[in-house]
Amino acid sequence: MTSVVPIKAARPAAQSALPRVGVLLVNLGTPDTADAPGVRVYLKEFLSDARVIEDQGLVWQLVLNGIILRSRPRTKALDYQKIWNTEKNESPLKTITRSQSDKLSAALSDSGHVVVDWAMRYGNPSIKSGIDALIAKGCERILVVPLYPQYSAPTSATVCDEVFRVLARLRNQPTLRVTPPYYEDAAYIEALATSIEAHLTTLSFEPELIVASFHGMPISYVDKGDPYQQHCIATTQALRRRLGMDETKLLLTFQSRFGNAEWLQPYTDKTMERLAKEGLRRIAVVTPGFSADCLETLEEIAQENAEIFKHNGGEQFSAIPCLNDSEPGMDVIRTLVLRELQGWI
């Protein structure tokens, strides 16, 4: 009888080290310096993006190069100087985004193979430098995190545009994921509500009204299909439900309009003027569309709009800080990132 030799099970190959996964936090951007030359370089890049100014034709080029870039950098540089982080010689947006990246990296350190970095869509550090750095560290998969709760083409989409342009120049591309907007995510709404409630306890007065001010957008962009306005409305409605408020206690407005086109209304500055003239004396403003404090929150809201309110009869004004790198703010980013990294870590 022929003997049967049992076949030994093959030894499993040694498990290879998990490939590194990169996470790139991206915010809008900032000038490198708080002077006219620095602001001019930043505005040139920002306003030359067809996602931001859709009609980049000859008329706009004449206006941009012949008027805006000649006069606006001087005035905006003065605004940046009011809020500049002189210790680090950078804008608060850069300081905060770096801290968000560092804290997220520490929170994900247990995974052992996640690398976190940060970038700006306009200015430095660039998206290209961020992607290059992650690839150099061995990241074969990259999660891009646009730090915009509400989707819009001039913010979220242009981040993707730039990421895709960078990848288009690579022969060996990393696998890519992009986090979705989180405008009514439970963690985000809870963090906003918690931050508002905590801030109100620090005030020496009780606001008669809270204004939720979002960055504005030309109405024409919404008419073409941009969902931004609906996302802002959804955020405000969810925040009202969480805080137990209605539209008489939490009002939605839009700030930062630019140019002569009609933008989303009501305008924040005009609302401040109207409310003060109608007899409102105590107000607080929250900016839910900004994940980090920047020129639009620290100077435009906390200084310009405060002055408008008080000049027209208002007495007490408080700007509620953005979520920034606070514990509630980092909870939002961490929740979003871990959700989108499922299957990768």
SS (H, E, C) 228-272: HHHHHHHHHHHHHHHHCCCCCCEEEEEECCCCCCCECCCEHHHHH
Exposed e or buried b per residue across 270-283, where buried means at least 16 C-beta atoms within 10 angstroms of its C-beta: ebbbebbeeebbbb
User: What pLDDT band is residue 259 in, cutting at 50, 70 and 90?
Assistant: confident
Residue 284 token pair: 């607080």
| C-alpha to C-alpha distance for 235 and 189, rounded to whole angstroms | 7
In the prediction, which pLDDT does 336 show? 98
Residue ranges per structural domain of the chain: 20-182+327-340, 186-319
pLDDT for position 16 = 44
- Amino acid identity of residue 179, one-letter, is T
pLDDT at 7 over 60: no
pTM of the model: 0.93
Q: Is pLDDT at 9 greater than 80 in this prediction?
A: no
Residue 5: per-residue pLDDT:
41
**Confidence (pLDDT) at 4:** 43
Q: Per-residue pLDDT for 3 more than 60?
A: no
Alpha carbons 177 and 132: distance in angstroms, whole number: 16
**Residue count of the chain:** 345
Kindly indicate the confidence band of residue 15, based on its pLDDT and cuts at 50, 70 and 90. Answer: very low
Is residue 185 within 8 A of residue 336, CB to CB? The reply is yes
Q: For domain 20-182+327-340, which CATH number applies: 3.40.50.720, 3.30.70.660, 3.30.70.330, 3.40.50.1400?
A: 3.40.50.1400
Query: Looking at per-residue confidence, does 43 or 345 come out higher?
Result: 43
pLDDT of residue 112: 77
* 258 CB neighbour count, 10 Å cutoff: 13
How far is the first Cα of the chain from the last one, in angstroms, to the nearest whole number?
Answer: 53
d(CA 186, CA 80): 34
CB 91 within 8 Å of CB 294: yes
Contact by Cβ (8 Å): 319, 306? yes
Out of 4-8, 75-79, 88-92, least confident range: 4-8
Element containing residue 176 per DSSP (H, E): strand 175-178
Say yes or no to pLDDT of 203 above 50: yes
What pLDDT score was predicted for residue 17? 62
> What rounded mean pLDDT belongs to the chain?
94
Fold of 186-319: Rossmann fold (3.40.50)
Q: What is the pLDDT of residue 110?
A: 85
Q: How far apart are CA 159 and CA 165, in angstroms?
A: 10
Write out pLDDT tens, residues 107-124. 999 877 999 999 999 999
Among 2-11, 43-52, 101-110, 150-159, whose mean pLDDT is lowest?
2-11
Q: Find the mean pLDDT for residues 51-66.
A: 96
Query: One fold for both 20-182+327-340 and 186-319?
Result: yes
Is the pLDDT higher at 5 or at 122? 122
